[in-house]
Structure 1
Amino acid sequence: MTPANLAQLIKTTATAVMGEHNLDTSVLPGEVTVERPRNPEHGDYATNLALQVAKKAGVNPRDLATWLVAELAGNPAIDEATIAGPGFINIRLAAAAQGAIVNQVLQAGDSFGNNDSMAGAKVNLEFVSANPTGPIHLGGTRWAAVGDSLGRVLEASGASVTREYYFNDHGRQIDRFSNSLLAAAKGEPTPEDGYGGEYIHDIAKAVLESNPQALEGSEDEVRENFRAVGVEMMFSHIRKSLSDFGVEFDVFFHENSLFESGAVDRAVQTLKDNGKLYQDEGAWWLRSTDYGDDKDRVVIKSDGDAAYIAGDIAYVADKFERGHNLAIYMLGADHHGYIARLRAAAAAMGYDPDQVEVLIGQMVNLLSNGKAVKMSKRAGNVITLDDLVEAIGVDGARYALTRSSVDQSIDIDLDLWASQSSDNPVYYVQYGHARLCSIARKAEEIGVSIGEPDLSLLTHDKEGVLIRTLGEFPEVVKTAATLREPHRIARYAEQLAAVFHRFYDQCQILPKADEEAAPIHSARLALAAATRQTLANALNLVGVRALEKM
């Protein structure tokens, strides 16, 4: 019986009991809270339901708790139900009911942990979206890891997810990139506002190799030669880096298409027609303060050019026009002002601003030998995705970047994450899975099978803790999806691995050399198999390999 199953049992019992005492059952919550007590001696689970609803129902909390305990204690799935304090209820499950979690895991297999909490959600998940002016830096790398994991978690919770990369191929930064390439091709110094790094010289050289006449023609023609080819080469590198990192996108959306298709002009005209824009000092302004922004925003500048927000407005409208009902943007720490801005853009265009969410990611710092790593040989003044993968591998990089809440800055110790020790979180979790696979192989060698195990035999304290930890996984996935916090999955994987290792140290899973296989061995082998499956599912949601050997 998982915590969710127990919560439903408690609610069903409370509905019946309160009905018998002519109490208003409408005060019952939609979902009953069930938690693990801090002190395991108090029981397997606890609920504060009686305290939560008694006053609303006009009854003493302890009286309501007494009625609930009497009914729960008579259920064969409950071994013991007791009252603590003013009305808390502590519950200990019967061994068979607790062991049933193992069967649930084995029957569900790869889908264990999946839920339907976001069924019907059509999510546009935009992440990374690094400008094609250089390799992906650490901030974008964090979003690559977290964004891909969040997409997996949302899908596991029933959502339909479109992973989208916003390809910024319009504006001043692309001009700076083109000018930097042109200067490198001519052997001139990098422009003051240009991009440095070896990659600029490599791309400029490649442009000339592909088109020896690239420097010939008018100034605009020459710049366009380097812009078009250079941007494509840079973006090809970005796409390969992401693919090698295990991150694939469904849509690469070109910012320039919003202008070429007339989408920006149409959005601006819509806002003019519905009175959401006003003219002042020759510019057109969005009344974004009407929607919670701290100031109104210029949409069309006094010289007639579109401001950056004009593209944002057309883009958010495009997302909803494509059928999405939730748009999640994952942006860097310097984009905090975009939260109100994007919500205002959606509202002004007639969409529900609550269907726009902006997640802000904080900085990533690298340490080596206790000192900060400050720059990349290839990129000049930033550390890149490729640098991080070269230092600690794909699995280490993805796990290190995903295991912390994105609203926290993180330090990644390269020496720790490259080590093969239990202090390295990804090594610790992968080792747990590999050990479980080794147990399965050994069982097959000696002829011990799971068969139809008697799971009521799993009464050891460490068995109980492991089973209850397995049972929590579906709720962890659901919460991670609801709160957009995939780091909860990584932390759960570490907890599960730790609980398993403690179980392994105290419970003999397979018979010793001089022993015959007994029913307890089959039961424990089933528990080990369920643990391996759950650990693999958690690692998959983080985008990290579940290794069978290490």
Structure 2
Amino acid sequence: MDPEALSAALLDVVRPLAEARRAGSTEGLTPADLPLDRPRNRDHGDWASNAAMKLAKTVGANPREFAAEIAAALGEVPGIASVEVAGPGFINIRLDAAAAGALAKTIVEAGAAFGTNDSRADEIINLEFVSANPTGPIHLGGTRWAAVGDSLARILAAQGASVTREYYFNDHGAQIDRFARSLIAAHEGRPTPEDGYGGGYIDDIARRVALAYDGDIDALDADEKQEAFRALGVNFMFDEIKASLHSFGVDFDVYFHENDLHDSGAVERAVKRLTDLGHMYEADGALWLRTTEFGDDKDRVVIKSDGQPAYISGDLAYYLDKRERGFNRCIIMLGADHHGYVKRLMAMSAAFGDEPGVNLQVLIGQMVNLVKDGQPMRMSKRAGTVVTLEDLVEIVGTDAARYALVRSSTDSNLDVDLDVLQKRTNDNPVFYVQYAHARTHNVGRNAAASGVDRSGFAPELLVHETESALLGALQEFPRTVAYAAEVREPHRVARYLEELAGLYHRWYDNCRVIPLGDESVTDLHRTRLWLNDATGQVLRNGLTLLGVSAPERM
């Protein structure tokens, strides 16, 4: 019996009991109103619910008495072995072995679809992440967002959402001018400007620009030369960024150019919309947005007194553009240095008439540090001043890099120990999970060689304590993915996989799929093969959500 079936059974039991107490219609009651959780102590059963305590006041009953009524009725449901009342009204439910073990076949037959649903089919999501300035290779902060953002997109899509991955291409502003001046200095053999960019990549791109330019680039006047190095240099740099991300398993559906906002009149349209809504005013020769009315700590200048757009003008135009493209959920992933932007972005959303936290969500990621031989790694072979995506992948590989960056909450600073990630031991979390998956395939190959197949299935035979624990964890996968989507936290899937891998390894040490010696193949062996293959399927599904491979041999 899977969690959905148990929830439905609980609802079917509660409704008549509630109505019998003259609680009125229970038509609006749903399984979501009757929570089911896995007990921390498995001795308390397979599932626990506080439904009686939650509904006691509504139905006018003592919580423990109401729980006893629910327990008595649930005990008659096929597949439930026993139901007990604990404490002030907790209901502890134990499934019979056949009902619990049936999940193994359900998972194998569902395959890659296990853990997916369409609960978020009404969400049309624009997920903006990475969006590093095209002035250098992607640093570790951007690399973390690449891993987390792509995983989050996969998890949201697995719950039925329509997700567009978007990269905001910041090709407008002072940092691009500094980038062009740095390229010119490298081309001319001069030192890097004081406010410029350094590193071997600048020399590489400067050479490529000079070779690609149609004509003698040194014959141009200063302004023309600046524009030539800016246009060609930015394109070359962005091509490198895209190639790096692609090799990291991350591709975007949309690359949105900031210049387009200013060239298309999008800023003017956003200002007009906010003016029509009554949220703009003039003061000191500038045009302001009343963001304090929506929770910001001060109003914001949108158009400066010299007529030039302020920085926030691009944010306004870009957000409105996303909403006009039909996205009802806009998620922006920003680095820790942008924490101060959150209030103004939420105020901006509210000024347009949207609901902050619903139509617009901002996720903040903390810093990443690489540790090698117990010491922070600070220098890049190519970028010179920062460690890049390429540096990390070169040392540990794409799988280990992605997994290491996604397995911790983005709310916390992350120290990535390169020595651990290079080990082929259980200390390395990605190896631990991938090895569990490879082991399921090895068991399957050995089973086939020994004549064990899935022709029989007797789930009532799965009674060993490690089988109960493994089945309990497998049941949790759909709920884990759904919750990770709800709270926008892909690391919950990674941590789940590590727990599942541990339970599988313990089961492997205690329960044989292949007969010993001259033993005959029995339905117990066949049923355990179903459980083995179900575990492999869930490990594979979870790793896929994280953009990490699931090798069949290691």
- Equivalents in 1 of 2:353, 2:70: separation in Å? 49
Q: Secondary structure at the match of 1:119?
A: coil
Residue 527 of structure 2 is aligned to residue 523 of structure 1 = yes
Partner of 1:267: 270
Q: Secondary structure at the match of 1:140?
A: helix
CA displacement 1:402-434 (0-9 Å, x = unmatched): 001111111000000111110000000000000
- Equivalents in 1 of 2:25, 2:343: separation in Å? 40
Q: Secondary structure at the match of 1:284?
A: strand
- 8 Å contact 1:7–1:31 — kept in the other structure? no
Deviation of the 1:10 alpha carbon? 1.2
Q: Secondary structure at the match of 2:164?
A: strand
The one-letter amino acid paired with 1:496 is L
Deviation of the 1:102 alpha carbon? 1.1
Tell which deviates more after alignment, 27-36 or 354-363: 27-36
The one-letter amino acid paired with 1:238 is I
The percent identity for this pair of structures is 55
The one-letter amino acid paired with 2:530 is A
- Equivalents in 2 of 1:516, 1:262: separation in Å? 77
Residue 291 of structure 2 is aligned to residue 310 of structure 1 = no
- Equivalents in 1 of 2:534, 2:290: separation in Å? 56
The one-letter amino acid paired with 2:384 is G
Q: 2:240 aligns with which of 237, 241, 247?
A: 237
Deviation of the 1:39 alpha carbon? 2.1
Partner of 1:21: 21
Q: Secondary structure at the match of 1:123?
A: strand
Q: Secondary structure at the match of 1:367?
A: strand
Deviation of the 1:459 alpha carbon? 1.1
Q: Secondary structure at the match of 1:33?
A: coil
- Equivalents in 2 of 1:94, 1:338: separation in Å? 53
CA displacement 1:251-290 (0-9 Å, x = unmatched): 0000101111111122223333433221121211111111
Gapped runs of 5+ residues in structure 2? none
- Equivalents in 1 of 2:197, 2:74: separation in Å? 68
The one-letter amino acid paired with 1:423 is D
Residue 502 of structure 2 is aligned to residue 492 of structure 1 = no
Partner of 2:354: 351
The one-letter amino acid paired with 2:380 is S
Matches within 5 A, 1:71-82: 71-82=73-84
The one-letter amino acid paired with 2:14 is A
Partner of 1:253: 256
Tell which deviates more after alignment, 521-530 or 437-446: 437-446
The one-letter amino acid paired with 2:521 is A
CA displacement 1:297-352 (0-9 Å, x = unmatched): 11111121111111110100010111111000000001112222222223323434
The one-letter amino acid paired with 1:162 is T
Tell which deviates more after alignment, 458-467 or 346-355: 346-355
Q: Secondary structure at the match of 1:377?
A: coil
Partner of 1:155: 157
Tell which deviates more after alignment, 90-99 or 477-486: 90-99
Partner of 1:377: 381
Partner of 1:277: 280
Deviation of the 1:150 alpha carbon? 0.1
Q: Secondary structure at the match of 2:146?
A: helix
Deviation of the 1:225 alpha carbon? 0.7
CA displacement 1:144-199 (0-9 Å, x = unmatched): 00000000000000100000000000011101101111111111111111011111
Deviation of the 1:4 alpha carbon? 3.1
Q: 2:187 aligns with which of 185, 188, 210?
A: 185
Deviation of the 1:28 alpha carbon? 5.5
- Equivalents in 2 of 1:331, 1:383: separation in Å? 19
Matches within 5 A, 1:48-197: 48-197=50-199
Q: Secondary structure at the match of 2:363?
A: strand
- Equivalents in 1 of 2:54, 2:200: separation in Å? 63
Partner of 1:397: 401
The one-letter amino acid paired with 1:119 is A
- 8 Å contact 1:466–1:500 — kept in the other structure? yes
- 8 Å contact 2:117–2:160 — kept in the other structure? yes
- Equivalents in 2 of 1:215, 1:287: separation in Å? 49
Q: Secondary structure at the match of 1:215?
A: helix
CA displacement 1:70-93 (0-9 Å, x = unmatched): 111111211011111221111110
Tell which deviates more after alignment, 246-255 or 69-78: 69-78
- Equivalents in 2 of 1:66, 1:265: separation in Å? 65
Figure out how many residues of one structure are paired with residues of the other and give that number: 550
CA displacement 1:430-455 (0-9 Å, x = unmatched): 00000001111111222211113111
- Equivalents in 2 of 1:130, 1:87: separation in Å? 53
- 8 Å contact 2:290–2:299 — kept in the other structure? yes
- 8 Å contact 1:396–1:417 — kept in the other structure? yes
Partner of 1:426: 430
- Equivalents in 1 of 2:18, 2:280: separation in Å? 56
Deviation of the 1:510 alpha carbon? 1.4
Deviation of the 1:5 alpha carbon? 2.5
- 8 Å contact 1:476–1:489 — kept in the other structure? yes
Q: Secondary structure at the match of 1:336?
A: helix
- Equivalents in 2 of 1:402, 1:440: separation in Å? 30
Deviation of the 1:25 alpha carbon? 5.8
The one-letter amino acid paired with 2:299 is D
The one-letter amino acid paired with 1:332 is G
TM, length-normalised to structure 2? 0.97
- Equivalents in 1 of 2:25, 2:14: separation in Å? 8
Deviation of the 1:24 alpha carbon? 4.2
CA displacement 1:368-397 (0-9 Å, x = unmatched): 111111121211211100001011110000
Q: Secondary structure at the match of 2:125?
A: strand
Partner of 2:543: 539
The one-letter amino acid paired with 2:484 is A
Tell which deviates more after alignment, 243-252 or 280-289: 280-289
Deviation of the 1:22 alpha carbon? 2.6
- 8 Å contact 1:128–1:143 — kept in the other structure? yes
- Equivalents in 1 of 2:421, 2:33: separation in Å? 40
Partner of 1:332: 335
- Equivalents in 1 of 2:488, 2:254: separation in Å? 21
The one-letter amino acid paired with 1:3 is P
- Equivalents in 1 of 2:228, 2:513: separation in Å? 67
- Equivalents in 2 of 1:513, 1:542: separation in Å? 40
Runs of 4+ that moved beyond 4 A:
24-29
The one-letter amino acid paired with 1:228 is A
Partner of 2:390: 386
Q: Secondary structure at the match of 1:23?
A: coil
- Equivalents in 2 of 1:38, 1:486: separation in Å? 22
CA displacement 1:482-511 (0-9 Å, x = unmatched): 000111110011011000011111111111
- Equivalents in 2 of 1:351, 1:260: separation in Å? 26
Partner of 1:549: 553
- 8 Å contact 1:2–1:472 — kept in the other structure? no
- Equivalents in 1 of 2:252, 2:462: separation in Å? 44
Tell which deviates more after alignment, 285-294 or 425-434: 285-294
Tell which deviates more after alignment, 69-78 or 122-131: 69-78
